[in-house]
Structure 1
Amino acid sequence: MYINIVAGGPTAFIPPLGNFNIPGSLWIGVDRGTAVLLDNGIKPDAAFGDFDSVTKKELAEFETSIPDLKKYKPEKDETDMELALSWAIRQNPESIAIFGATGGRIDHFLANIHLLEKYATEGKSCEISLIDCSNYVSVKKPGAYHVEKESGKKYISFLPGSLDVSGLTLRGFKYPLENKYVPRGSTLCVSNELIDETGTFSFSEGILIVIRSND
């Protein structure tokens, strides 16, 4: 099972959602992202939020058309995205893709990156990614990973997250590394590129934010 979550970030950053609407996918709306889904002809399987960014007319439409609408008070400890993501993880999907979570408000974007780090450190097994028109962001815990060249995502950056990274090894890249210590705040691994059709990266300790980007 695949779960796609759509938040209410600027629609200019959201790629065509139909490209990700594979059979068996669940679609989840987060606050205004619910309207984005409906505008794209996709009926959400569930929706989460305080819905303070939608009109009364839109909310009424959500209440009549969405079978699992979870409405919360604006005064709460979790963001709408955290509530939706926590629910999605409990469904034990193979992967979770998040759209509408970049661009616009930087505080929301950073909070979403922190959520990916949180679930990576908790050892959640499913792949969670933030996707927009130019970027694919994921957070990795220690291990070895295989990566393939993509024509639309030329650049690959590796940034330490909340923890320093030890033992970072990059093979098949323009700028290879071997067992390198990369502290938080380092820009050593920004804008790398694959020189082979496939490559690998691995590390032994820390949290690694991996970003695939185009210009």
Structure 2
Amino acid sequence: MSQASTTPHETFTLKQLVNPTEAQLHRSGQLFAELMSEDTALLSLCGGDPNLMEPLGQAMVRAGALEGEFYAATNEKDEVLGYVMTMPKGKVLFSTEEQKKLGFYDFMSRLPEVGKQYYADTLTMVDIWWIHMSMTRPESQRQGIASGLIRMILDKALAAGDVIGLSTTNEVNVRIYESLGFKVIGHKSCPSPWGEWKFWVFRYEAAHA
């Protein structure tokens, strides 16, 4: 499944990457670290160490590509301009040895003890279609990349009769996800040794499809 789009900035194709290349995965992990570098929630999960942001991103994209589904906007050089990673119903991020060996163990070994405890107490896994990552490089934003990729996932999940959820720690994203048909089902402030952060949890409302 793919969709092509031509914008005044750059031509890109939206598609599921069944076997993303190492270069695509590496760049996706870097993009996660770049975009989330000042996010208090992610900094907290990294035990307050911003240097662990990229190892976490690299572990997530690789685990998701292995046992989840990886959708991306790629240009004519097949470079990733933006991507969305989801774990379908029945698949949970970092739940298998195969996933954990792709960077998760390395990430955890570098966390301070307080960070390991905070990570264990905070991270919740949900057995539904869960969108873990939605990243678009700054110069490619506002071109419909993220929304187009998310709609591809919605179409697939809804066709199977499944529920789709996601969360955000950025209030700016709330209205964006609502415009796609998601409904806020929870909002919480979370204290951490590295600062308080907020997050919103969404569920897709099929009536908006």
More helix by share: 2
| Larger gyration radius, structure 1 or structure 2 | 1
Instruction: Calculate the TM-score normalised by the size of structure 1.
Output: 0.27
Instruction: Calculate the TM-score normalised by the size of structure 2.
Output: 0.28
More strand by share: 1
